[in-house]
Amino acid sequence: MSVSGRVTARVRRDFGAAASEALEALALAETGGQEVERVHAALVLMAEGSVDRLWQAVELSALDWRDVLMNGGLANYDWPEVLEREFGSGQRRS
């Protein structure tokens, strides 16, 4: 799955030298048919810059992607506003 530009930019900022590995991890995430950018963003927020936490979050997505949205703060109706605030404006793509 492709990662949107604004999520990629945040990954590069949060993960630094480990950004490539973080992007690989995101590509393996289960999205449950939800908007891919939403799930990727939740995973990045959950990880807080830690590749180990990101891998754990990706594993969680395979068990229940809804937990990822909850733990990443993107489960509620206001998720588009949270995404905009955390990742900046940009065209979302799935």
Any domain includes 43: yes
- What predicted TM-score, i.e. pTM, was given to this entire model? 0.92
Any domain includes 74: yes
Helix, strand, coil percentages in the chain from 3-state DSSP, rounded to 5: 70, 0, 30
By the 8 A CB rule, do 38 and 79 touch? yes
Any domain includes 52: yes
Per-residue pLDDT of the chain (94 residues; tens, 9 = 90+): 799 999 999 999 999 999 999 999 999 999 999 999 999 999 999 999 999 999 999 999 999 999 999 999 999 999 999 999 999 987 544 4
Any domain includes 29: yes
